[in-house]
Amino acid sequence: MLTGGSLTVRNEQLLLAQYPGLLVARGAGEPTVVDVIAHFHGDLDLADVRGIGYNGAARGGGMTIRRAPRRTATVANRAQTDILPELDLLDRTFRHRGVAQLETSRGCTNYCSFCPRGHKGIWSGAAPEGLPWMLAAMSEVFERHPHLSRTLYLVDEEFIGRGDDAAQRALVISRTMHDAGFRWESSCRIDQVVDPQRDRAWHLERGYMWRELVATGLRRMLFGVESGVTSILERFNKETTGEQNALAIRTLSALGVPTRFTYITFDHLMTLEELRATHDFQARTDLLLRPLHHLSVEEIVDGVTDPRFVSEHSLVIGAGKLKLILPLRKGNALGLEANEFISLDEAGRTFDRLMEARSTHDWRPALRMTSWTPETEGHMILVEVTGKASAWPVYEAPDLLEPLGNVLTEPVTEIWKRYRFKRNHFAKYLGQSIRTAANAGTPASDGHARA
């Protein structure tokens, strides 16, 4: 039996110990599959199959007989000729609400300590010339599903890659997808935006690149920021710094690039100081800037290091109200233990602490806390398009719905008379469960923390 993929590679020794006849594909599967078929036909020795781990013949004598694990050389990414997928399953994938994935490169430019990307090897990009026919073939399948968004998910670990022509290559790929009528998403490293080793000209080139990628269909790019604390980044071997990450987040947001950032808040080797520092980074309000479409790339690249520019354009959320809602033991939460919920007293104390912090730090948003209890649990009348009215939620009734009548065939007052939950209806909708800044001094009662 032949297995493959990152998980089996990570567990190669374990699998070979348990399943002595197994073959584990340790890299890209395409050359391995070709060779294994040749081997099954008797045309190739196992030792000549590219990119496998397997157990050799039993050796030793007496109590020490064992089969030594062996490995054959994998094919380097740069020597791969074929990384484009077969499309035989695409139609079925769409029918099962799946998405279209494609790789335009393999491997990564870095070796982060936590990343299992090893079996994908060193970064290598496929030549963009191979794309148009593949996109045309994918288009044919998309055309059979006209309601689907024409989006391609490029599952590259590092979309931009390395080399002097990296930005140009990325742009050719993006333009090619755009010309074929597709939008796309992918992932890459933050050092493709800001790199302290590079000069201003490089940063300007990248700024232009990001703007054009968005203009030619980039829907979202994922960046593994992972931390804003340099000592943590060093431990992760991210080869980035906290300051670099901050500048890159500012640049991307100001350029108007739709992003997704991943961040590791906690790791088991961190010190208390690092935990504090990482929280401080997350609380910074000078990282995200407003999209500054009216400014030039030069103004943005120069501006992100200028504190005045940053404070002028920071994206501070203009919230008018902070509303906290405590969970109630209902619906799917009915099976949870009572101690999974905080008590009204605890809720009251938390609210008081927030009120104190609000005045200490001069927070402007109003504070509200809804502490629901069985007494103030919200019930409602659900009216369907057919006019059928039901009380909700009624736990003992099918679908939690208790029929009350039909608003199209009788007066609503008749339906209201049959409604068993009038008290709770009022309790919720007339705000008896809501604590506000104004009533925070009132002691908690059992129906509501402080109404």
Please state, in angstroms and rounded to a whole number, the distance separating the CA atoms of residues 176 and 129: 9
The distance of Cα 376 from the centroid of its chain, to the nearest Å, equals: 36
Binding span for ligand SF4 by CB under 6 A among 88-96, 106-114, 127-135, 313-321: 106-114
Q: What is the DSSP code (8-state) at residue 209?
A: H
Q: How many residues belong to the site for ligand SF4 (CB under 6 A)?
A: 10
Q: Which residues have a Cβ under 8 Å from the Cβ of 34 and sit 6 or more positions away? A: none
| List 11, 110, 296, 314, residue binding ligand SF4 (CB under 6 A) | 110
DSSP character at residue 366: E
* 53 phi, psi to nearest 5 deg: -115, 135
Residues 230, 238: Cα–Cα separation, whole Å: 9
CA distance 347 to 147: 47
Residue range at the interface with ligand SF4 (CB under 6 A); choices 104-112, 201-209, 349-357, 363-371? 104-112
Instruction: Tell me: does residue 33 bind ligand B12 (CB under 6 A).
Output: yes
Q: Distance between CA atoms of 294 and 121, rounded to whole angstroms?
A: 41
The closest alpha carbon to 226, from 267, 283, 257, belongs to 267
- Of residues 162 and 329, the one with the C-beta less far from ligand B12: 162
Pick between residue 112 and residue 134 the one whose CB is nearest to ligand SF4.
Answer: 112
The contacts of residue 125 (CB under 8 Å, 6+ apart) are: 104, 105, 161, 169
Establish if 121 lies at the interface with ligand SF4 (CB under 6 A): no
Residue among 316, 355, 377 nearest 439 (CA): 355
Q: Is 315 exposed, middle or buried (0-12, 13-18, 19+ CB in 10 A)?
A: middle
Among 389, 394, 442, CA closest to 421: 394
Measured from the CB atom, the residue of 202 and 261 that comes closer to ligand B12 is 261
Q: Give residue for tokens 């039909």.
A: 406
Could you say whether residue 31 binds ligand SF4 (CB under 6 A)?
no
Binding to ligand SF4 (CB under 6 A) within 168-197 occurs at 189
Binding to ligand B12 (CB under 6 A) within 351-390 occurs at none
Binding residue for ligand SF4, selected from 16, 36, 52, 108, defined by CB under 6 A: 108
Question: Which of 157, 185, 195, 402 is the binder for ligand SF4 (CB under 6 A)?
Answer: 157
Binding partner of residue 168 among ligand SF4, ligand B12, none, CB cut-off 5 to 8 Å per kind? none
Q: How far is CA 56 from the centre of its chain?
A: 42
- If one asks whether residue 30 binds ligand B12 (CB under 6 A), the answer comes out as yes
Residues 77-106 that bind ligand B12 (CB under 6 A): 98, 101, 103
Size of the site for ligand B12 (CB under 6 A): 22
Query: Rule CB under 6 A: is residue 224 a binding residue for ligand SF4?
Result: yes
What is each CA distance from 149 to 100, 142, 146, 251, 257, in whole angstroms? 10, 9, 8, 28, 20
**Is residue 53 involved in binding ligand B12 (CB under 6 A)?**
no
Q: Would you count residue 115 as binding ligand SF4 (CB under 6 A)?
A: yes
Q: Which of 76, 87, 112, 394 binds ligand SF4 (CB under 6 A)?
A: 112
Cross-strand pairs, 314: 289
Which of ligand SF4, ligand B12, none has residue 11 at its interface (CB below 5 to 8 Å by kind)? none
Q: Which of residues 137-156 bind ligand B12 (CB under 6 A)?
A: 155
Position 154 contacts ligand SF4 (CB under 6 A) = no
Q: Among 38, 115, 148, 324, indicate the residue that binds ligand B12 (CB under 6 A).
A: 115
Closest Cα to residue 388, out of 415, 428, 420? 415
Q: Toward ligand B12, which CB reaches closer, 95 or 284?
A: 95
E strands present in 60-178: 66-71, 100-102, 105-106, 124-125, 151-154
Q: Is 222 in the site for ligand SF4 (CB under 6 A)?
A: no
In the complex, least distance from residue 436 CB atom to ligand B12, rounded to whole angstroms: 39
Q: Cite the DSSP H helix spans in 362-446.
A: 412-418, 422-429
Enumerate binding residues for ligand SF4 (CB under 6 A). Answer: 108, 110-112, 115, 117, 157-158, 189, 224
Enumerate binding residues for ligand B12 (CB under 6 A). Answer: 2-7, 10, 25, 28-30, 32-33, 98, 101, 103, 115-117, 119, 155, 157
